[in-house]
Amino acid sequence: MGSSNTTIQLAHGGGGRLSQQLIQELLVPAFGPADGVLHDAALLPSPGHTLAFTTDSYVVRPLFFPGGDIGRLAVFGSVNDLAMAGARPIALSLGLILEEGLPIATLKQVVASIREAAELCDVAVITGDTKVVERGKGDGMFINTTAIGAVEHALNIHPIAVKPGDAVLVSGDLGRHGTAVLVAREELGFRSALESDLAPLHRVVQDLIEHGVQLHCLRDLTRGGLASAIDEIARGAGVEIEVEEETIPLNPAVQSACELLGLDPLAIANEGRMVVICQASSAELALKQLRQHHPGACRIGTVMERRKAQALHPVSLRNHLGVLRPLELGRGEQLPRIC
């Protein structure tokens, strides 16, 4: 970058010299084509399979948090969305919305993080866009990523494939991402060594598929956590789900923070965890493969027949006394946006 510019200016988004400088000196070296020639659209050869396509936008404060940053979050988040369809990631687009005054050094850190995360996932950043908004309008940086992947299996991984008797598993302990981000804000007056669970999930899913696990549905547990995801699956599948509350894996630091703040750990965001619903006969095999990646994976429940045509709460929690209570979703955001 030009030596006279140490922060993002409105002119960086104006299409003129500073825009070109930002693209040519920072973004092209990190993501651009080998010949350095840019075009409005990238040609994407089809691998001959069904393609999966997803897009998401990422807003987090602070931009850097224990265990990750907004750059890794954006890449892993979109790769994980593809993985929930059992797709292998192929390519990403990258949209950067930068706030006037953002330090160039901060942007460089995030760009480096995006590049490292993309390389880790074997996915190419092939196209993108950059905009600059006025100071005070952008929380530093927002990122949008759109991802495309190849579906190379015959499984129908979708809520409509969920059937009574299926096993419900989670791939690891819950609530660490949201809790780590909250602690990093230093607004709550307590400290913790807790790190986000931020991680890509596509290789975990590929392992499950390659080992013959009869997957019926996958869902990454992001905004709204386990509670939102499992409720949405149950409604989409037209079933009820019973969850054994005592089996849900929670880090002690997450439990303590939630008790202190009056938060529900089942509703806190994760960025490297998923719920796996599979044929009951595949449950032990699925757990074996999941535990290769995270020892905290466990079975937490079972899919049941819907007892009422329009169940108000299709998911129930069973406590250690065997008593069932409905899993109720909150009416609004439990926390400020953290993903």
Report, at the CATH architecture level, how domain 159-326 is classified: Alpha-Beta Complex (3.90)
Most distant pair of Cα atoms in the chain: their distance: 68
Provide, rounded to the nearest whole percent, the portion of the chain with pLDDT above 70. Answer: 90
Tens of pLDDT, residue by residue over 175-217, are: 999 999 988 887 666 677 899 999 999 999 999 999 999 999 9
* Mean pLDDT to the nearest integer, 105-133: 96
* Mean pLDDT to the nearest integer, 118-141: 94
Residue 331 predicted with pLDDT over 90 = no
Whole-number average pLDDT of the chain: 89
Tens of pLDDT, residue by residue over 134-171, are: 998 888 999 999 999 999 999 999 999 999 999 999 99
State the span(s) of the chain assigned CATH 3.90.650.10: 159-326
**What confidence score (pLDDT) does residue 191 get?**
73
Tens of pLDDT, residue by residue over 80-118, are: 999 999 999 999 999 999 999 999 999 999 999 999 999
**What confidence score (pLDDT) does residue 81 get?**
94
* Mean pLDDT to the nearest integer, 211-226: 94
CATH number of 10-37+47-151, picked from 3.50.50.60, 3.30.1330.10, 3.40.50.1820, 3.40.50.740: 3.30.1330.10
**What confidence score (pLDDT) does residue 280 get?**
98
* Mean pLDDT to the nearest integer, 294-315: 88
**What confidence score (pLDDT) does residue 39 get?**
62
State the span(s) of the chain assigned CATH 3.30.1330.10: 10-37+47-151
**What confidence score (pLDDT) does residue 166 get?**
98
If one compares 183 and 123, the residue with the highest pLDDT of the two is 123
Angle subtended by helix axes 104-120 and 70-83, to nearest 10: 30
Take residue 34 and report the two structure tokens written for it.
Answer: 């080998």
Among 211, 207, 206, smallest CA distance to 282 is for 211
Highest mean pLDDT among 15-29, 44-58, 218-232, 237-251: 237-251
Yes or no: say if 301 and 231 are a contact pair by the CB < 8 Å rule. no
Of 293-302, 316-325, 328-337, the one with minimum mean pLDDT is: 328-337
Q: 281 Cβ partners below 8 Å, 6+ apart?
A: 214
CA distances to 106, 248, 281, 292, 317 from 251, in Å? 31, 10, 29, 19, 19
Assign 205 to helix, strand or coil. helix
Q: What is the DSSP string of 13-32?
A: GTTSHHHHHHIIIIIHHHHS
Yes or no: say if 183 and 190 are a contact pair by the CB < 8 Å rule. yes
Cα 165 from Cα 169, distance rounded (Å): 13
Cα 163 from Cα 120, distance rounded (Å): 35
Cα 275 from Cα 242, distance rounded (Å): 14
Q: Residue 328's pLDDT band (boundaries 50, 70, 90)?
A: confident
Angle subtended by helix axes 202-210 and 283-293, to nearest 10: 140
